[in-house]
Amino acid sequence: MNNEFGPRGRVASAADDADRAVLVLVAAGQLDALQELYDKYRVMAYSIALRITADASLAEDVVQDAFLGAWRNASRYVEGKGSVKTWLLSIVHHRAVDAVRRRRPTVELPEREDVPPAAMTLPDIWPEVAGNLDREEIAAALTSLSDVQREALELAYFGGLTQQEIAIQTGTPLGTVKSRVRLGLLAMRRALVGTDGNAAGDAAGGDRSGDPGGGALA
Amino acid sequence: MNDEPMTHETARGLAAAYVLGALEPAEEAAVREHLQTCAERHHEFAELGGVVPYLVELPGLELVEPPASLRDRIMAAAAADLAERTATASPVPAESTPRLAEAPAASAASPVAAPPPAAASPGPTLPFPSAAERSAPRRTSPLAWAARIAAVVAIVILGGWNLVLQGQLSDARAYDRAVAAVIDAAGKPGSQIVVLTPTKDSRGAGIAAVAPDGSVVMAMRDLPATAGSQVYEAWVIAAGSPAPVPVGSFTVGQAGTAAFTTTPVTTPPGSTIALSLEPGPGSTTPRGTIVATGVSALPKS
C-alpha cells in the first residue's frame, strides 16, 4: 500500500470541503468565518485544552491563542495534510501541551525559552491515516492497544509528558516507555489502515535499533 | 548530550515519540534538524504522525462547553488583529476592512497549490486563491463586525492599544483581552460606558460596558489579589433605586487584572456600578469594602 496521502488520495467528506471553504474566508480576513469555525469546534477545542491543562482559565487562553493562530495563519493550512478539524485541534493540542510544560518547573526551561516559543509556530501537521473513519472504527483501533501502551500514549497526549517524564511518573525504565509509545502508535496505525506501511521496519528492528537510539541520547 | 549529527536510523527510532511531542527539547531539535537535511525519505514520520489526531478519541475526554465570554474575547482579539494589520499596512479606512475577501488581482494569478509566501504579502490580506473563494457564499452580517472593528480602530488611533504593541507579557495581554471584550460590548448600539475609579484608600480601576441586555462587561486592573474564599462582587445600583443588586463575583490573581461579565439586570443610564471585596461569595448586600465605582452613561455621539 502506498502511504502517500496526497490531497486526492482519499475522497474528502463534504464536511471537510465545507470547512475548507470556511477556512478560505478566514484566510481572507473574514471575522464571521472565524466565528463559524469557532462555533463548530469550540467544544472539542476547549475540552482538549481543559483536559491537558486541568485549568479552566489556562484552557481558555490556550483556545484563544489557538484560534488566533488559525486566524493569522489560515493561509498556511495546506490541503492534503489532514482535515481542517485535525489542523485546528492539533494547534490546540500543541499549545495546551506547551502551556502546561511552561508551567511545570521540572522541564528544561532555558532550552525551551531560547527556542522561538513552540506555541508561536504552527505544529507539523501529519496527514490523517484515513479521511472518513467513524467513531466505532477509531474506538476499535484504540482497543487494540495494550493497557500499558494506552497509558503511555495518554500520558504523552493528554498529560503533555515527555518519554522521560512518563518513565519517572510510572516508575518504568525509559527503554520500556519508548517501546510502548512506538508499538502503541504502530498498533493504532495497523488497526486504522490495516498496514504498518514503511513504519513496520521500525517494529521489526525495534528491539535491536531502539536501544542504541535511546542510549546515544540518554 | 553529544553534538554529533543524528543518524538516519536514530531518527527513525525516535519517530513515534517525535510525532507525539514526547521527546526532550534537545532530542526534538536534533530530529527536526535531521529531517531538514536528510537525503533519504522518512515515511515513518508521516505514517505515525497520521495516527496522532485519533488519540483525541481515547476514552475519558469529557466534552465541556467553554464559557460564552470566550467567543467574545476571541472575536474581539481577531478584530483588533485585523485592525492592526490594516493600520500597519496602509491607512485604509475602517469601512473597507470587512471586504478583504475580495482577493487582490495578484493572488488570483497564483497557482492554487502554491502556499502563499506570507511575508511577501504586501497588504493585510492573506491570499488564498482557489475556486472555493469565488464560489463560497458571502458571510452575513458584516455590519455588526464593522461597528466593532471601528471601535477597535478608534482605540488604536487613541493609543490605547499600546500595551499590545509594547510587549507580550501575559498580564498585559490578559488585560488587553479584557479591554477588547469591553470594546466589543461597547460597540453595540445602545451600550453604555462606565469608567471605574478606585475609592479612597483602595486600589483597582478599569472600564466597563453595559450591554443592551443589562450585563456589564468589565476590564479591571490594579486590584489586590483575592485570598482564601474572598471574592470581588459586582453591584449595580440602578438609577433611582437605593438597593445595590449583586450581579456576580470573581477572584483576582497576583496580576491584579480581571475580565468579567455580570449577570444582566436593568441598568439605565446613570446607574452606579460598584465592586466590593467580600469575605466570600453569595453576598446579597455589600459587607466588605467598596473598592471601585463608576456611573454608566451612553457614549456621546
Q: Domain extents for chain B?
A: 8-57, 68-90+142-189, 190-295
pLDDT at B142: 54
Residues B185-222 pLDDT 10s: 888 888 888 888 888 888 888 889 998 888 899 998 88
Q: What percent of the residues of chain A are helix, what percent strand, and what percent coil, each to the nearest 5?
A: 70, 0, 30
Phi-psi region of B21 (alpha: psi -120 to 50; beta: other; left: phi over 0): left
| Burial class of residue A81, CB neighbours in 10 A (0-12, 13-18, 19+) | buried
Residues A46-105 pLDDT 10s: 999 999 999 999 999 999 999 999 998 888 777 666 788 888 998 899 899 989 888 876
* Distance of residue B266 Cα from the nearest chain A Cα, in angstroms: 29
Tell me the residues of chain B between 34 and 53 that have a Cβ less than 8 Å away from chain A.
43-53
Average pLDDT, chain B: 74
Lowest mean pLDDT among A171-175, B240-244, B260-264: B240-244
Lowest mean pLDDT among A126-130, B39-43, B46-50, B158-162: B158-162
> Which domains are delineated in chain A?
1-132 (1.10.1740.10), 133-218 (1.10.10.10)
Closest to B27 (Cβ–Cβ): which among A22, A198, A217? Answer: A217
pLDDT band at A218 (very low <50, low <70, confident <90, very high): very low
pLDDT band at B57 (very low <50, low <70, confident <90, very high): confident
Q: What percent of the residues of chain B are helix, what percent strand, and what percent coil, each to the nearest 5?
A: 40, 15, 45
Triad A71, B152, B220: Cα angle to 5°: 100
Q: Residue B110 to residues A80, A195, B103, B107, B138: CA-CA distances in angstroms?
A: 19, 38, 11, 5, 22
Q: Residue B299, Cα to own-chain centre: how many angstroms?
A: 24
For residue A216, pLDDT over 50 is answered with no
Nearest chain A residue to B130, by CA: A24
Specify the pTM.
0.54
Give the pLDDT mean for B261-277: 90
Three-state DSSP class for residue B57: helix
pLDDT band at B86 (very low <50, low <70, confident <90, very high): confident
Instruction: Name every chain A residue with its beta carbon within 8 A of the beta carbon of B100.
Output: 28-30
Task: Give ipTM to 2 decimals.
Answer: 0.77
Residue B270 gets which letter from DSSP?
Answer: T
Give the pLDDT mean for B149-167: 50
For residue B68, pLDDT over 80 is answered with yes
Q: Is the dihedral of CA A202, A208, A214, B2 positive or negative?
A: negative
